[in-house]
Chains A and B, each alone.
Chain A
Amino acid sequence: DMKVTQMPRYLIKRMGENVLLECGQDMSHETMYWYRQDPGLGLQLIYISYDVDSNSEGDIPKGYRVSRKKREHFSLILDSAKTNQTSVYFCASTGTPQNTLYFGAGTRLSVL
Chain B
Amino acid sequence: QQQVRQSSQSLTVWEGETAILNCSYENSAFDYFPWYQQFPGEGPALLIAIRSVSDKKEDGRFTIFFNKREKNLSLHIKDSQPGDSATYFCAATANSGTYQRFGTGTKLQVVP
CB pair A58–B34 under 8 Å, yes or no, is no
**Measured between C-beta atoms, what is the minimum distance from A66 to chain B in Å?**
14
Contact with B along A71-102 (1 / 0, CB 8 A): 00000000000000000001010000110110
B100: A residues at CB distance < 8 A:
97, 101
Known: A4-B43, A101-B36, A106-B42. 13 other contacts (CB 8 A): A40-B9, A42-B6, A42-B102, A42-B104, A43-B102, A48-B98, A48-B99, A90-B43, A90-B44, A98-B32, A100-B49, A101-B46, A103-B36
A-B interface, 8 closest residue pairs, ranked by CB to CB distance from nearest: A103-B43, A42-B104, A43-B102, A98-B32, A100-B46, A42-B102, A97-B93, A103-B44
Enumerate chain B interface residues (CB-CB to A < 8 A): 6, 9, 32, 34, 36, 41-46, 49, 89, 91, 93, 95, 97-100, 102-105
